[in-house]
Amino acid sequence: MTDPTKKPTPAGLQLDNVEIFQGPRKLLGMHAIIGPGEILTLMGASGSGKSTLISAIAGFLPRSFSCTGNILLNGQSITSLPAEKRRVGVLFQDPLLFPHFSVLQNILFALPPGGKMAERCDKARSLLHDISMGEFADRDPDTLSGGQKARVALARVIASRPNALLLDEPFSKLDADLRDSMRQLVSAEVTRRKIPTLLVTHDKADAIAIDGPVLTL
């Protein structure tokens, strides 16, 4: 039952007058709502503070920076929550697969706790299957190609069932031919799972391929 006196809680990721400062200097300000399954592309040159914004939303803002405003996820403020309680997934430029885990273990690590081990393994395998990495489950991540690593990284972040996804130039280090298929894969997964997503990039091609709203810093 919903409380009629309250406004219906807006689903998605809401940046409410978020401003980021380095010392006294204002780096950037942003006010935006990203709906479920929507991908907002934020364009900016390097050094414009895009990555810092990602850190702020995910909860790893370095001490030398400060952040004002409010960050809401499905109507709940996450501004003062520690990173691990925000349920905001991040994909970096590098896939950053944990080198001491196998591909499957990387996914298992990300799955929310609970359930029998066999069930968890099934879940992880089906996630890998979805990105056509099914037969690589027991491989050492270091032996995968760049494109394969990127797909596993995507599967891993999806596995953690994030309420929002932040993409920090995730395609910039991929070869040109892989880049397109990866963009499509990300876009498809995000839409299918209705995850509000923020993509920061300096590459116009990303914005064009994703075909969503674009903000430029």
Partner 1 sequence: MNAKSSPLAIVPALVLALLLIPIGVATLSLLGTALDWKGGWWSHSLEPLQSASGSFEAVLNTPGFWTSAGLSYWIGILTALISLTIVMLFIATFLSSGWFVWIWGIMKPVLAVPHAVAAFGLLFLIAPSGFLIRLVSPELSGFERPPDWLVVNDPAGLSLALGLILKEIPFLFFVTMAALPQTDFRRTRIAASMGYGRIWSWFLSVFPGVYLQIRLPVFAVIAFASSTIDVALILGPVAPPTLSVRILHWMNDPDLSMRTTAAAGAIIQVAITLLAVLTWWAGEYLVLNLGRMAALRGWRFKRDKFLRFLSSLLMATSVLVVSVGLVLLALWSFAGVWRFPDALPRVWTLRSWSAEASNLWATGVRATIIALGAATLSLALVLASLENEYRSNRRATRLAWWTIYVPLLVPQIAFVGGLSVLFIRFSIDGTLWAVILVHMIFTYPYIYLTLSDPWNTFDTRYLSVARSLGKSMNRAFWTIRLPILLRPVLAAFALGFAVSIAQYLPTLLIGAGRQPTLTTEAIALASGGNRRVIGTYALVQTLLPLIVFALANLVPKLLWANRAGLQVRSVE
- Applying CB under 8 A, the residues found at the interface with partner 1 are 55, 58-64, 82-90, 92, 94, 96, 98-100, 102, 109-110, 112, 140-143, 156-157, 160, 162
Q: Could you give the angle at the alpha carbon of 148 between the alpha carbons of 155 and 123, nearest 5°?
A: 30
Nearer to partner 1, 49 or 141 (CB): 141
Asked whether 174 and 206 are in contact (CB, 8 A), the reply is: no
Q: What is the closest distance, in whole angstroms, from the C-beta atom of residue 200 to partner 1 in the complex? A: 15
Nearer to partner 1, 66 or 70 (CB): 66
Q: What is the closest distance, in whole angstroms, from the C-beta atom of residue 30 to partner 1 in the complex? A: 19
- The neighbouring-strand residues paired with 119 are none
Asked whether 122 and 130 are in contact (CB, 8 A), the reply is: no
Q: What is the closest distance, in whole angstroms, from the C-beta atom of residue 150 to partner 1 in the complex? A: 13
Q: What is the closest distance, in whole angstroms, from the C-beta atom of residue 119 to partner 1 in the complex? A: 18
Nearer to partner 1, 6 or 63 (CB): 63
Max CA distance (Å), the chain: 57
Asked whether 167 and 206 are in contact (CB, 8 A), the reply is: no
Distance from C-alpha of 71 to C-alpha of 94, rounded to nearest angstrom = 26
Nearer to partner 1, 12 or 209 (CB): 12
Edge to edge, the sheet with strand 164-168 lists 88-91, 164-168, 197-201, 39-43, 214-216
Q: What is the closest distance, in whole angstroms, from the C-beta atom of residue 139 to partner 1 in the complex? A: 9
Nearer to partner 1, 94 or 203 (CB): 94
Task: Specify the 3-state DSSP secondary structure of 160.
Answer: coil
- C-alpha 207, offset from chain centre: 16
84 burial class (0-12, 13-18, 19+ CB within 10 angstroms)?
A: exposed
Q: What is the closest distance, in whole angstroms, from the C-beta atom of residue 179 to partner 1 in the complex? A: 21
Nearer to partner 1, 140 or 211 (CB): 140
* 136 secondary structure, DSSP code: G
